[in-house]
Amino acid sequence: MSIQIKLLLNEIPHHTLTSLGINRAVLMTSENGKVMITTDLNPENLREINGLEVLSETRQEEEVHSITMTVLKLDEQLMHEATEHLPNRYRLISELDTILKHNKDVYVAYVITHYNPQQKPCGPLTVNIGGDCYRNDDAIKDLTSILRRTKDLAKAMLKKSVMIFPDIPALHGGKKGEWIILNKDGEKIDGISEEAIIALGSAIIPKGILFLNRYKELQAKQMGICDSFPQQNYMKPDSGSPDVLSGIFWRGDRKDKDINLCESWAKRNVDLHGITCLPHNLGGTLDPSARPTGYGVATTAIELAKNYYSDRSVQELKFLIEAAGGVGRNAIESLTQIHGVPTQNITVFDRADAACKFMQERFPGIHTITLGHKDFYLWRLANDKIQYDVWINNGEGDNTTPQYIAELIACGVRIFCGGANNFLEVATEKENLQKIFSAGGWAWPDSATSAGGWTLAVIDVMTRCQGQKSNTVEKQKQILDTITSRNTKLIQDVLATFPEKPAGQQLWDRVEKLIQERVVKTLNLELSPEEIFKLADTSNWKLT
């Protein structure tokens, strides 16, 4: 099968589907260099396609194991499929129909990047848990920008996994998913409501995950690991997980949002073993993933602050927090209720006025500012002339520039951490860090900070694959205890290697070295099919 012309990345969805006269497909490229396609989403029918070499070239440039792209063309069938069992269904169909009429050709693409070379350490049984997000800000403009971005996020998930459960190789997968709504030129279509974006995500995410799990089941059989995935004690290799935007609607936790993705999937008979972080009424955890993430972030900030400001009580320190979403809310809950930080010592800013008002009601005395990050850092921060000690970035990530860091340093911040993936802008990370270190500050990698949601997802899916339910107080406590104790111990272990208070560069280098050592160790494992099957058996795992 072939496309007559060699396409650019942005041209792939429209030209591929149009040339072949189809409305959906899965494209996949991995380390063999070929680009494969299935037009019925069945991995047994994958075949090589020519003309899409740019996808393979992108994978090689990014040095990742694979890129899998599910593409759906928006039509009447998809509109009805995407809105099934959603509230306000006909309003959503009307919006999607209007989008289609205005743009003529509309595509939904769901990109999943797997980082680990050769699917190490456990081949097709390596568990890959990473969030599925939609960025409706200016950071994502087209399909190309997604493909460039998911590599860093997939690698970050591998780092998180080796930091939390270093002795469970089967959990050491690095994966990230992101979907986008495109016009025929591969450009993101703006002006779409969150509900319509989520509706299309609800249709495409399960398709991409199901394809990958069926594909890896075939691989496991070919490699002699197992004839089919066992029904109990084995986690699905791939799963859908909440992240930016999707997390707001995942479990129906937000009273101001009508959509509950998990419940709609349950009504559509989606296999929920391939979905993490279910609501408690479906057997999932009592808490959303944002709670352990927030608690882990707060624990990290407090432990760093106690050691950096050793002559001061953490209760007198001033905390500045970016973003008032679920992670920020739970970080503040932990700071105030667990660590005793007074609310009047905490300032949080967010572009959403409703989020700021919620914070004021939930935490009386807290300072809130309704502004986006650019306006806050480049205007409000300097004008307020308020001094802070600790900065926690729980925002969307990959947008903290050296100019912002300079403003934070000028107002006194010396502890820099956060739950955002890439809490410092990737392109300028070295410059950002140099500014922090030159000012005598400490920074802590987000991959060693923000694994709380990942930990919840692991324990949730593991518990359910063992035939139990995750909606117990015992599991709730286990999840919070796991992330807070692991984050605390990591900082203590790293600091214990220094005879005195380390410089910022020394601290950063030491924890990065530890992370890299664990990554290299797991990626260097050479396992037989029998060893893989045994290591993937969750009944053999010890989480504590």
Q: Is residue 523 part of a domain?
A: no
Instruction: Clarify whether residues 194 and 267 are in a common domain.
Output: yes
pLDDT for 382: 82
pLDDT per residue as tens digits for the range 92-114: 999 999 999 999 999 999 999 99
Indicate the SS3 state at residue 276. Answer: coil
Q: What share of the chain is helix, strand, coil (3-state, %, to 5)?
A: 50, 15, 35
Instruction: Clarify whether residues 83 and 34 are in a common domain.
Output: yes
What are 426's two structure tokens?
């990737």
- Residue where a domain terminates, one of 230, 248, 275: 275
Q: Mean pLDDT of all residues in the chain?
A: 95
Instruction: Clarify whether residues 90 and 186 are in a common domain.
Output: yes
- Residue where a domain terminates, one of 251, 275, 299: 275
- Residue where a domain terminates, one of 403, 419, 448: 448
Instruction: Clarify whether residues 294 and 235 are in a common domain.
Output: no
Instruction: Clarify whether residues 105 and 184 are in a common domain.
Output: yes
* Residues of the domain holding 374: 290-448
Instruction: Clarify whether residues 416 and 350 are in a common domain.
Output: yes
pLDDT per residue as tens digits for the range 48-63: 999 999 999 999 999 9
For residue 178, the 8-state DSSP code is: E
Q: Is residue 514 part of a domain?
A: no
pLDDT for 9: 92
Instruction: Clarify whether residues 116 and 199 are in a common domain.
Output: yes
Mean pLDDT of 2-30: 90
Residue reference for tokens 């029904």 = 231
Instruction: Clarify whether residues 271 and 307 are in a common domain.
Output: no
Among 110, 42, 103, 43, which Cα is nearest to 82's? Answer: 110
pLDDT for 343: 98
Among 43, 3, 48, 184, which Cα is nearest to 109's? Answer: 184
Residue 242 has pLDDT above 70, yes or no: yes
Q: Is residue 3 part of a domain?
A: no
Instruction: Clarify whether residues 295 and 246 are in a common domain.
Output: no
Instruction: Clarify whether residues 205 and 270 are in a common domain.
Output: yes
- Cβ–Cβ < 8 Å for 432, 400: yes
Instruction: Clarify whether residues 263 and 404 are in a common domain.
Output: no
Instruction: Clarify whether residues 54 and 91 are in a common domain.
Output: yes
Q: Is residue 541 part of a domain?
A: no
pLDDT for 107: 99
Residue 39 has pLDDT above 70, yes or no: yes
Residue 3 has pLDDT above 70, yes or no: no
The CA distance from 38 to 218, in Å, is 15
Q: Which helix (H) or strand (E) holds 156?
A: helix 143-164
User: Which tops the pLDDT comparison, 542 or 214?
Assistant: 214
State the total domains in the chain: 2
- Cβ–Cβ < 8 Å for 366, 343: yes
pLDDT per residue as tens digits for the range 123-171: 999 999 999 999 988 878 999 998 877 888 899 899 999 999 999 999 9
Mean pLDDT of 75-86: 98
Of all residues in the chain, what percent carry a pLDDT higher than 90?
90
Mean pLDDT of 213-223: 98
CATH number at residue 422: 3.40.50.720
Q: Is residue 71 part of a domain?
A: yes
Q: Is residue 262 part of a domain?
A: yes
pLDDT for 400: 95
Mean pLDDT of 482-510: 96
Residue 462 has pLDDT above 70, yes or no: yes
Q: Is residue 485 part of a domain?
A: no
Residue reference for tokens 């140099």 = 434
Determine the residue type at 352.
Answer: A
Q: Is residue 142 part of a domain?
A: yes
